[in-house]
Amino acid sequence: MLAATSRVSFFSLEQRLLCIHSSRVLATPFAPSPPSSPSPKSSRTLTTTPPTMANSQYEYVKSYELPDPLMPNTFAVIRVDGHAFTKFCHAHEFEKPNDIRALDLMNRAAKAVMQEFPDIVLAFGESDEYSFLMRRDASVYGRRRSKINSTVASVFTSNYVFYWSEFFPNTPLKYPPTFDSRVVLYPSAKEVRDYFSWRQVDTHINNLHNTCYWALRHDGVSGTEATKLLEGTFSDNKNELLFSRFKVNYNNLPEYFKKGSVLVRTDPRLTKGPSKRDEPGPSLEDTEASDAATPEVSGSLTPEISQGEQTAAASSPVPSNPPAGTPKKKEKKKKAPKPFDGRSGPIVILHTDIIKEKPFWAERPWLLE
């Protein structure tokens, strides 16, 4: 009897809960189902309110991303440097003191960076580093430091790997190289020139030291002994060592090794042929050499006219003036060409002095505008 009573009370409780739930469901207002083929007007009405993102409660984490814009109206220099490159050079058996294949590959990667960023108007490279000058009015990526830094390093590294087999066809890449990057701001043209002068002086110092060091190493001197012999020496001591012991005149070594590589664009209006931004062009030295080799043309450039032609020309009637009232055609004034700003044109590679103002900086005023 007790079991039956409990069963009845249980079912009655279950029924009451079911009724309460059903009443709540029935009380909930349901939205009418959309028509099967809504008109364009009603369709536009349905899409005016954007749907709420399911993860909107997590969007607050974006507030931790702090803005990092570069100071406006300043020159930005981005320097890319090889990370643990001594180990990389040893693993891939680079020639010492200079491996022209590796230097050419660095130039190719730097050229790719300039092709990607028109606002980069100058690049200077030596050994395993490259410095890129960005115009002071550049607005790429909103001048965000982190974005510029990471993208330049990424473009340089990826192109170094991409073109590796072109410059090292017989040397497989054993592991990927890495390059770090930093951005330094300079307020005026003076600091920019001093920066690139500093890097070229560093090129000369490092190359002279490495030339002496590896000359000693190739002569059978150990690394420790070679380091001791060169410790505390100056440029004149090193030059004397090269000449007296190895009959090498440092001044006769290639400018490529002594002065590094300079990448700039040339005005396409002054370049013969198509003017594509990524098309290589001749260096200024080659242009000057070709101009010097051009023979001078003596005499008048006006073609000679025979006597018969002169008579025919003299007897030909002179065209009369147009009748009065005829409207004259207005001559369109030619617009003056815009000054070259270094953002377009063929990219050329130079091995020249950038410490002195002339001729490099004086011939390219747009670099420091």
pLDDT bracket for residue 312 (50, 70, 90):
very low
Res 261: pLDDT: 99
- pLDDT of 335: 81
How confident is the prediction for the chain on average, in pLDDT?
A: 82
Domains and CATH numbers, the chain: 75-198+255-261 (3.30.70.3000)
pLDDT of residue 179: 98
Whether 286 shows a pLDDT value over 70: the answer reads no
**Is 81 known as a binding-site position?**
yes
Q: What is the per-residue burial (b if ≥16 Cβ within 10 Å, else e) of 16-50?
A: eeeeeeeeeeeeeeeeeeeeeeeeeeeeeeeeeee
Cis upstream peptide for 282 (omega within 30°): no
Q: Does the pTM exceed 0.85?
A: no
Query: In the structure, what pLDDT confidence band is assigned to residue 56 with cuts at 50, 70 and 90?
Result: confident
The tens digit of pLDDT for each residue in 221-244 reads: 999 999 999 999 999 999 999 999
pLDDT value of residue 28: 52
The answer to whether residue 1 scores a pLDDT higher than 50 is no
Mean pLDDT along residues 71-98: 98
Distance CA 88, CA 188 (A): 37
User: Whole-angstrom Cα distance, residue 119 to residue 156?
Assistant: 16
Say if CB 348 and CB 282 are below 8 A apart.
Answer: yes
Torsion angle defined by CA atoms of residues 161, 167, 168 and 173, in that order, rounded to the nearest 10 degrees: 0
Tokens of 324: 């009065």
Identity at 228, one-letter amino acid code: K
Burial bucket for residue 257 (CB in 10 Å: 0-12, 13-18, 19+): buried
3-state secondary structure of 147: helix
Q: 185 forms bridges with which residues in the sheet?
A: 76
Whether a cis peptide bond, with omega within 30° of 0, leads into 359 is yes
pLDDT in tens, 112-165: 999 999 999 999 999 999 999 999 999 999 999 999 999 999 999 999 999 999
Q: Is 223 annotated as a binding residue?
A: no
- Count of H-run helices and E-run strands, the chain: 13, 6
